[in-house]
């Protein structure tokens, strides 16, 4: 028995439905895979700065050995040194010594020694502690070279002291006498060490040798830098905001001729 044409069309249409559903299903699966692949792609992360090497500073007044102090500053007024003032000793510290070695009719020898430490933490916005210390190191070298009234200014690398160091020497006339100066600026990790040593002869005494002043300054600076490594090290992390507030400028209260 033959079926009519309209009825046959309806049967063929129903038979095609499962095929269409399968096609739709495949299309839907393909889209899910694309979405999954897209969501699994890694997202960019902000780079972090290198943690600071040192988390604290040594006691400035004990950073240089007693024998060295006795040799460089004979008859020091305060053998233990006079600490500078700072509202943030974790970030900055300093100490100074001065003394006049009176030799009667042979005249007198005056010496003054000062050592200062500045520490920088790593900061996401400002950079790593080492980078910030390097900028301060450059600044302190320039400052030493621009000392008011200085004559015969010279600078040279100070080998073997910290990661980088520069020695600046110059002559300066004060209180009617000729002073010989040597400033050694050094950086170790995230800490900058600035040491200044000077001397003069009074009452007819011979002016000290500039080479001797420089040699002694380098010796003391080497000890001060070494003291940094003996303190605490390793920041636990980086700061999301500027590190410790700007330290006050250290003031030396001692009665000196520097």
Does 32 score more than 80 pLDDT?
no
131: Cα separation from own chain's centroid: 7
Q: Which of 147, 248, 138, 145 is nearest to 187 (CA)?
A: 138
pTM, to two decimals: 0.74
Residue 62 vs residue 89, higher pLDDT? 62
Query: For the ranges 33-37, 231-235, 246-250, which has the lowest average pLDDT?
Result: 246-250
Between CA 86 and CA 244 the distance in angstroms is 13
Task: Quote the pLDDT of residue 246.
Answer: 35
**Residue 42 pLDDT grade (very low, low, confident, very high; cuts 50, 70, 90):** low
Does residue 43 sit in helix, strand or coil? coil
**Residue 139 pLDDT grade (very low, low, confident, very high; cuts 50, 70, 90):** very high
Task: Quote the pLDDT of residue 1.
Answer: 47
Phi, psi of 39 (to 5 degrees): -70, -20
**Residue 237 pLDDT grade (very low, low, confident, very high; cuts 50, 70, 90):** very low
Query: For the ranges 69-73, 113-117, 146-150, 249-253, which has the lowest average pLDDT?
Result: 249-253
Helix, strand, coil in percent for the chain, rounding step 5:
35, 30, 40
Percent of the chain whose pLDDT exceeds 90: 65
Between CA 123 and CA 50 the distance in angstroms is 9
Q: Domain spans of the chain?
A: 1-43, 60-229
Domain 60-229, CATH: 3.40.1000
Q: What is the mean pLDDT of residues 86-92?
A: 89
Does 229 score more than 60 pLDDT?
yes
């Amino acid at each position: 028995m033959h079926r009519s044409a309209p009825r046959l069309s309806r049967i063929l249409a129903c038979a095609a439905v499962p095929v269409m559903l399968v096609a739709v299903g495949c299309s839907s699966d393909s889209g899910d895979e694309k979405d999954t692949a897209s969501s699994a792609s890694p997202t960019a992360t902000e780079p972090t700065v290198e943690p600071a090497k040192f988390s604290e500073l040594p006691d400035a007044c004990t950073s240089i050995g007693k024998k060295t102090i006795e040799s460089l500053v004979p008859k020091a007024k305060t053998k233990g040194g006079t600490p500078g003032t700072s509202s943030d000793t974790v970030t900055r510290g300093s100490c100074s010594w001065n003394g006049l070695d009176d030799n009667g009719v042979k005249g007198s020898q005056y010496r003054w020694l000062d050592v200062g430490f500045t520490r920088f933490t790593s900061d996401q916005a400002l950079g790593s502690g080492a980078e910030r210390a390097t900028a301060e190191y450059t600044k302190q070298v320039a400052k030493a070279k621009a000392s008011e009234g200085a004559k015969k200014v010279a600078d040279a690398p100070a080998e073997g002291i910290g990661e980088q160091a520069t020695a600046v020497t110059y002559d300066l006339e004060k209180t009617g006498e000729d002073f010989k100066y040597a400033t050694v600026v050094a950086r170790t990790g995230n800490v900058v060490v600035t040491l200044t040593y000077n001397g003069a002869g009074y009452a007819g005494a011979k002016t000290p040798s500039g080479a001797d002043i420089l040699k002694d300054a380098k010796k003391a600076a080497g000890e001060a830098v070494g003291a940094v490594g003996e303190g605490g090290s390793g920041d636990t992390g980086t700061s999301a905001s500027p590190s410790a507030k700007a330290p006050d400028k250290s003031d030396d209260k001692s009665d000196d001729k520097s």
